[in-house]
């Protein structure tokens, strides 16, 4: 139930690019150095992001990487699926082959898991990198937002850790 290290690195690499002036190209070396990511591994991750159309790569001497579109059009979900593939909480949900309960169309547990997965995905989708790049750390706390708040952003605010 956890996302892997490459995804975490990818988040921070994209965040790094999002904090730069738009269109700015920066070498992988610089990102690796500033974010403490092993360079070879970062390059591998950046290739995934390139293939997914999230960043553009520039080869040759003054080369490097830049965001392929504006940060508010890039969500955590975009980066997550670029690195790990589609989110699936349970293999059963996507591949009925694996479900040992063939009887009912889907058992109660799987309906629940499907619902959980759906909101999880929506959550990842609700964060974009313009938001994240905005305030470097802890949100202003006074943050009031009309509970309709559409379009680009507005994640459910869940500030304090709940357990463990």
Distance CA 55, CA 25 (A): 10
Q: Cβ 139 to DNA, closest distance in Å?
A: 27
- Asked if 35 is part of the footprint of DNA (rule: CB under 7 A), the reply reads no
**Stretch of 21-29, 73-81, 107-115, 149-157 lying at the interface with DNA (CB under 7 A):** 21-29
Q: Of the two residues 22 and 63, which places its CB atom closer to DNA in the complex? A: 63
The tokens 């964060």 sit on which residue? 127
- Asked if 97 is part of the footprint of DNA (rule: CB under 7 A), the reply reads no
Rg of the chain (C-alpha set): 19
- Asked if 92 is part of the footprint of its own copies (rule: CB under 8 A), the reply reads yes
> In the set 94, 145, 149, 152, which binds its own copies (CB under 8 A)?
94
- Asked if 106 is part of the footprint of its own copies (rule: CB under 8 A), the reply reads yes
Distance CA 42, CA 36 (A): 10
Residue 115 has, within 13 A of its CA and on its CB side, a CA count of: 7
- Asked if 148 is part of the footprint of its own copies (rule: CB under 8 A), the reply reads no
Q: Of the two residues 22 and 38, which places its CB atom closer to DNA in the complex? A: 38
User: How far is Cα of residue 129 from the mean position of the Cα atoms in its chain?
Assistant: 9
The region, left, alpha or beta by phi > 0 then psi within -120 to 50, assigned to residue 41 is alpha
Of 32, 116, 16, which Cα lies nearest the Cα of 67?
16
CB 44 within 8 A of CB 109: no
For binding to DNA (CB under 7 A), which residues are involved? Answer: 4-6, 9, 27-29, 38-41, 43-44, 46-47, 50, 57-65, 84
For binding to its own copies (CB under 8 A), which residues are involved? Answer: 1-3, 5, 8, 11-12, 15, 35-37, 76, 80-81, 84, 86-94, 100-101, 104-109, 111-112, 114-116, 118-125, 127, 131-139, 155-164
């Amino acid at each position: 139930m956890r996302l892997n290290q490459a995804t975490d690195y990818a988040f921070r690499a994209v965040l790094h690019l999002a904090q730069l002036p738009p269109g700015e190209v920066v070498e992988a070396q610089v990102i690796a150095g500033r974010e403490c990511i092993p360079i070879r591994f970062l390059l591998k991750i950046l290739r995934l992001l390139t293939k997914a159309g999230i960043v553009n790569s520039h080869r040759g001497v003054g080369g490097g990487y830049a965001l392929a579109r504006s940060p508010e059009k890039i969500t955590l979900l975009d980066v997550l699926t670029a690195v790990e593939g589609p989110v699936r909480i349970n293999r059963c949900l996507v591949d009925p082959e694996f479900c040992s309960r063939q009887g009912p169309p889907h058992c109660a547990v799987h309906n629940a898991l499907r619902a959980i997965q759906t909101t999880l995905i929506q959550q990842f989708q609700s964060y974009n990198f313009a938001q994240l790049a905005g305030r470097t750390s802890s949100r202003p706390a006074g943050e009031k937002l009309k509970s309709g708040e559409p379009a680009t952003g507005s994640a459910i605010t869940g500030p304090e850790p709940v357990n463990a």
